Structure 1
Amino acid sequence: MSATQSSETTEKPAASGNGERAVPTRGPGPSGGPGLGRGPASFMAGQSTEKALDFKGSGRRFLTLLAPQRLFVIGALLTAAVSVGLSVVGPKVLGNATDLIFSGIVSHDLPAGVTKEEVIAGLRARGDNTIADMFAAMNIVPGQGIDFTAVGRVLMIVLGLYVLASIFSLIQGRLTASIVQRSVFDLREQVEAKFARLPLSYFDRQPRGEVLSRVTNDIDNLAQSLQQTLGQLIASLLTIVGVLTMMFVISPLLALLALVSVPISVFVAAKVGKRAQPQFIKQWRTTGQLNGHIEEMYTGHSLVKVFGRREEAQKTFEEHNETLYNASFRAQFISGLIQPAMMFIGNVNYVLIAVVGALRVSSGSLSLGDVQAFIQYSRQFSQPITQVASMANLLQSGVASAERVFALLDADEQEPDPADPVRQPKVTGKVEFDHVSFRYSPDTPLIEDLSLSVEPGQTVAIVGPTGAGKTTLVNLLMRFYEIDSGRIVLDGVDIADMTREDLRAKTGMVLQDAWLFGGTIAENIAYGAPDATPEKICEAARATHVDRFVRTLPDGYETIIDDEGDNVSAGEKQLITVARAFLAEPAILILDEATSSVDTRTEVLIQRAMNSLRQGRTSFVIAHRLSTIRDADLILVMESGRIVEQGTHTALLDAGGAYARLYAAQFAEAVVEVD
């Protein structure tokens, strides 16, 4: 079964919902999405217009992505807490080694045989009260040197603490990686499932490159932002809490002094981050626009060259590229100001702590080891603040990308299938349109009060000028779009009471623009019947005259076709899609200019094959070349969404109406071409 987009554009709406407005096509070259039939692709090949106005709301939703991984999150928090706790205790224990070394040096220079109290009393007697106060706070033994055994024991304890902290940090890193990758895995599945629920009109409104950018670039950026910030953010916040606690234990005065830098840091980070946020939003929006333009120019590069629009396409690319460069530069530059500002504030705070700490040591209020530990803590305290601030650019970039993905997930969905659908194991193919009305845009009527009855096995040809509603008619039958009023009935059952999958499983479709995917010719033919045997595939290929050119290929049916099908001709691509419909054996067959890309001889052969295929099946044939539908059981002539004539080829010619005028115009054109 093949389903590709029609080339007609006049039946498409000029506006769209979801808060997105139609804009002119971005640049030269063809545009349009992969959608089936008609939609607003010709009007909406332009830019994405969403804006990130609810940054906090998007940020909270950004974090809800982690909710399904709550057990891993708890594990990451616990391991991070243990790792940070062990790391925080390290400087305090290491300060004991400093005290042992300093006390040993001082004790070695003091005369042996006297007590600590006698030394202090002698210093006070000489008026050296500052040194006496410092010695009073130290554990000195006059005449004894450094106790290296005790120092070694302390260093081994510190080494053990840091080794254990590293082990728990590794475990936390592994858990964080699992959290991020599982969350992004779930997000990609949500996006894929969302695609199945989106109406065709959504893809008609969005340039294909823009949609691809959200699914690839934005999700990848979201994953990268989570990976780089989640683990570090947890560790940094826990480090701030742990270090602050130890700082108050050592010296409340110095701790309060260190806290002075916090509100200053928060103020600076908030101001800079607020200026960087719009630039990140613009960066990722422009990335989607640039990808959309590149995708359009690449898929239509032949037409761009043929019509001499390469320079204009290049100019459009340069404009988008320049905009992206400026937005990216500003975003990175502005957010990059945070870290040096935080480092400056931290260094000033470090100097203040060092000066006040030295005064406290000289007064005997603190030991040298405690001051050393506090200075280490002050660096540990300012470092996570700086890290959290420097993560602002990653977080803003990630949330900007997340918001674009959320906009996709929040897009209006097609009406759900009925809760208790009607199942039809087998259908005969009786189709009725009962007072059907439909319009793409609320202000522009297209099909109004259309009624039609098609008996099983009949071949119905639909003709009319471009934009008359021919392809729209079959798109409504396939439920690619929902009708505004009336109903469409298949074998007495309203198709709205059936699931879309069940309805479409009974239908084969071959459209004007052949669609092939990257794979072998055999796989492309078997797309609508994946369980088909090689014999069945060859049988369908022979019936549609695919076999004759496949046999000339070196690898036969195993020949690989690229994504665009550029290694086979347009006519051969069309033949493969016809073979695909043959193999699916549908109850209803839809042919939308299915033979427009083949030569006259092949068209005759396909028409003969179609005659056998249509036996016992209801067929809808949309054709511009009226010579191909002479044998149709019923010919419908449409104009402006209405059926203005219906009958057989002969009867319509005899009537001398719209069909006769169309036929005469084609005949006259053919005569002119011959002349």
Structure 2
Amino acid sequence: MSEVRGVANEDLIRLDADERKRVRRRSWKLLVSLAAPNKALLILAAVLIVLSTIARTSFPLLIAWAIDWALPAAQRNDWVPLAVVGGLYLLASCAAGPLLGWYEVTSKRVSQEMLLDLRLRVFRHTQRLSLEFHENYTSGRIISRQTSDVETLREFLDQGLTALVSGVLFVVFTGASILFLDGWSFLVVIVASIPIAIIFRWYQKRSEVLYRESRVVSARLISTFMETMTGIRAVKAFRREAENDRAYEDVAMEYRANSIKSINLFGVLQPSLVVIGNLTVAAVLLFGGLRVINGTLLVGTLVALLLASKRVFSPVDEIANFYSSLQSATAALEKVSGLLEEEPTIVEDPEPIALKNAKGRIEFKNVEFGYGAGPTVMEQFDLTIPAGQTVAVVGQTGAGKSTLAKMVARFYDVRSGELTIDSVPIKKLTAKDLRRAVVMVTQEAFLFSGTVADNIALGKPTASRDEIILAARAVGAHEFIEKLPDGYDTDVNKRGGRVSAGQRQLISFARAFLADPAILILDEATSSLDLPSERLVQHGLQQLLGNRTAIIIAHRLSTVEIADRVLVVHDGKIVEDGSPAELIAQGGRYAALDQAWQDSLGR
């Protein structure tokens, strides 16, 4: 995976020139794709802002005509020119405000449509990405993409972009009116624009780096906060409050220092623009005044030139004010576009093979596995698990037990060789067929917002209440669910509805059993259960595993007792394979593990 292509590399500020150009093209391509469906509204907004700007920049011209043409005509009792100019001034005054307001509403409507599209894209794409991505990319950084970065884009689209477009058009049209009135004064404005361009370039180069750094630090700030709050029990248990305070303070101070640097840059830019603007008006007044004295410039034209010269630089200050918003939005857009450019590592075959009435036979043929481009985790092996067999996988931590489960669930693809289910290569199965055939229950029993019944029904959304209750009874969850304030209708996230870790695991068991898969994987799924609950679950397992294949990853050897077969994994290899009784009789690694387990129980 290219470091530039995705978001694994947060440090975008260190990219070389070519990579930077590619990231920018990627970012603006995303922005264009968001804007494309709103083409009609964008055209309307463009027309409105042009008409509004023409109306607002026409005032100096109308004043010049009134002084130099209409008033002299009125002195000769010809009131028509004054009436025409007055009518045009009144029309421009009445039209400028409503047109600008209509533009503001239209442009903000476009921005909201774009942001809705972007939020949905980020959410859907993040869900679609493979487990490998989520295990390498912290949740805090993903949340930062969906919240902080999207919010930065919202501020820019709702406020910064509107002001930027309006300001640029105002400068262009006001400059055109100065050129129309007097070429020499226009030349003065052009000369004044040179130092403004130099200052802008200076600001751009320095602020660009600062704002990208700001996005990185902002993501780290959110990630640090999320990690602390998620692990608050461990924080309290080990009294880590003081250390966490210092760590968070360091990141927060880094963010503040970055913000102060940005403020200091703008503190140089804004006064410079004001000074240059005032000097330009003074130059136009001096040069124009001398020409009025010698009769080569009319008084009304000079008044209009002074008004226009003053006004031509007023939006420049506004543009500068929102230039920081542009920089911040550009950095945020790069982050979001990087996330959206990530591709799932697990993809469906364009010509899949249907898996109908899955039996659950699993076969590994010359399979080797490693995570990404990392070292080999499971050395080449062959393994066949007949349909309906319950296999327990044991071994030391990090030996590769869970790796087997992740391959069967296709959270990861094998590096070489072939893995089949019912003789169909797993890579040829659709995600729908695979998820229907294989269900995995992990140690982390996650419950979603909603009722207990809703959480169990995740295994089968069309299930009736009777089916949900039967699944709960099968795993021994019915009794404690009935004791909850509202039984199966209890909200698991509301006061009184909270359940213990063991109860959460039982609910996740019921969810899996309701799905009725051909292959059930339990990845240390009984680790959160106390011994009475575990015995209850084992009874449920014995009742329900009779016709399905089961892979049980376990540290507790009590769970292994219900297995037909045991695989002992050590350093990425299957070193023992047989029934529990056979392996105990052999006196190998499993026998040692079993003896240690018996000793721990005091038997």
Relative to structure 1, is the Cα distance of residues 596 and 140 closer, same or farther in structure 2, using a 3 angstrom cutoff? closer
Q: In structure 2, what is the equivalent of residue 357 of structure 1?
A: 288
Amino acid at match of 1:51: I
Q: In structure 1, what is the equivalent of residue 89 of structure 2?
A: 158
Q: In the alignment, is residue 95 of structure 1 matched against residue 64 of structure 2?
A: yes
Q: Using the alignment, how far apart are the partners of 1:140 and 1:473 within structure 2?
A: 96
Q: 1:508-549, CA deviations, whole angstroms, 9 ceiling, x for partnerless residues?
A: 221112111222211111112122222222222222222211
Amino acid at match of 1:321: A
Q: Using the alignment, how far apart are the partners of 2:284 and 2:180 within structure 1?
A: 15
CA shift for structure 1 position 140:
7.4
Counterpart contact for 1:528–1:581, Cα < 8 Å? yes
Q: In the alignment, is residue 408 of structure 1 matched against residue 408 of structure 2?
A: no
Q: 1:202-249, CA deviations, whole angstroms, 9 ceiling, x for partnerless residues?
A: 222222112211221011102211222222222222222222222111
Q: In structure 2, what is the equivalent of residue 620 of structure 1?
A: 551
Q: Using the alignment, how far apart are the partners of 2:443 and 2:371 within structure 1?
A: 21
Q: In structure 2, what is the equivalent of residue 215 of structure 1?
A: 146
Q: In structure 2, what is the equivalent of residue 83 of structure 1?
A: 52
**Matched residue of 1:366: which SS?**
coil
Q: Using the alignment, how far apart are the partners of 2:365 and 2:484 within structure 1?
A: 49
Q: In structure 2, what is the equivalent of residue 39 of structure 1?
A: none
**Matched residue of 2:562: which SS?**
coil
Q: 1:342-374, CA deviations, whole angstroms, 9 ceiling, x for partnerless residues?
A: 111111101111222222333333332222222
**Most deviating of 61-70 and 221-230:** 61-70
Q: In structure 2, what is the equivalent of residue 66 of structure 1?
A: 32
Once the two structures are aligned, what percentage of the paired residues are identical?
33
1:383-394 equivalences under 5 Å are: 383-394=314-325
Amino acid at match of 2:416: S
Q: Using the alignment, how far apart are the partners of 1:444 and 1:58 within structure 2?
A: 30
Q: In the alignment, is residue 231 of structure 1 matched against residue 146 of structure 2?
A: no
Which of 352, 361, 375 is equivalent to 1:430?
A: 361
CA shift for structure 1 position 59:
4.5
**Matched residue of 2:283: which SS?**
helix
Amino acid at match of 1:406: S
Which of 555, 560, 577 is equivalent to 1:629?
A: 560
**Which structure carries more helix by proportion?**
2
**Most deviating of 68-77 and 413-422:** 68-77
CA shift for structure 1 position 282:
1.5
Q: In structure 1, what is the equivalent of residue 422 of structure 2?
A: 491
CA shift for structure 1 position 572:
0.9
Counterpart contact for 1:338–1:390, Cα < 8 Å? no
Relative to structure 1, is the Cα distance of residues 565 and 408 closer, same or farther in structure 2, using a 3 angstrom cutoff? farther
Q: Using the alignment, how far apart are the partners of 1:250 and 1:73 within structure 2?
A: 32
Counterpart contact for 2:485–2:496, Cα < 8 Å? no
Q: In structure 2, what is the equivalent of residue 589 of structure 1?
A: 520
Q: In structure 2, what is the equivalent of residue 603 of structure 1?
A: 534
Q: 1:135-161, CA deviations, whole angstroms, 9 ceiling, x for partnerless residues?
A: xxx55747x7xx888656633431211
**Most deviating of 330-339 and 432-441:** 330-339
Amino acid at match of 1:455: P
Counterpart contact for 1:433–1:453, Cα < 8 Å? yes
Relative to structure 1, is the Cα distance of residues 245 and 218 closer, same or farther in structure 2, using a 3 angstrom cutoff? same
**Most deviating of 421-430 and 376-385:** 376-385
Q: In structure 1, what is the equivalent of residue 101 of structure 2?
A: 170
Q: In structure 2, what is the equivalent of residue 375 of structure 1?
A: 306
**Most deviating of 522-531 and 375-384:** 375-384
**Most deviating of 70-79 and 250-259:** 70-79
Counterpart contact for 2:346–2:411, Cα < 8 Å? no
Q: In the alignment, is residue 308 of structure 1 matched against residue 270 of structure 2?
A: no
CA shift for structure 1 position 286:
0.8
Q: Using the alignment, how far apart are the partners of 1:405 and 1:441 within structure 2?
A: 23
Amino acid at match of 1:237: V
Which of 603, 626, 643 is equivalent to 2:574?
A: 643
CA shift for structure 1 position 430:
0.8
Relative to structure 1, is the Cα distance of residues 336 and 480 closer, same or farther in structure 2, using a 3 angstrom cutoff? farther
Q: In structure 2, what is the equivalent of residue 188 of structure 1?
A: 119
Relative to structure 1, is the Cα distance of residues 507 and 443 closer, same or farther in structure 2, using a 3 angstrom cutoff? closer
Q: In structure 2, what is the equivalent of residue 480 of structure 1?
A: 411
Q: Using the alignment, how far apart are the partners of 1:643 and 1:566 within structure 2?
A: 43
Counterpart contact for 2:542–2:562, Cα < 8 Å? no
**Matched residue of 2:447: which SS?**
coil
Amino acid at match of 1:294: F
- What's the Cα RMSD here? 2.5
Which of 216, 219, 227 is equivalent to 1:296?
A: 227
Q: 1:289-319, CA deviations, whole angstroms, 9 ceiling, x for partnerless residues?
A: 1111111111111111212222111110110
Q: In the alignment, is residue 542 of structure 1 matched against residue 480 of structure 2?
A: no
Relative to structure 1, is the Cα distance of residues 472 and 72 closer, same or farther in structure 2, using a 3 angstrom cutoff? same
Would you say how many aligned residue pairs link Structure 1 and Structure 2? 594
| Structure 2 unaligned spans of 5+ | none
Q: In the alignment, is residue 519 of structure 1 matched against residue 450 of structure 2?
A: yes
**Most deviating of 592-601 and 437-446:** 437-446
Which of 130, 141, 148 is equivalent to 1:199?
A: 130
CA shift for structure 1 position 564:
13
Amino acid at match of 1:173: E
Relative to structure 1, is the Cα distance of residues 239 and 443 closer, same or farther in structure 2, using a 3 angstrom cutoff? closer
Q: TM-score, normalised by structure 2?
A: 0.93
| Structure 1 unaligned spans of 5+ | 1-16, 21-45, 104-137
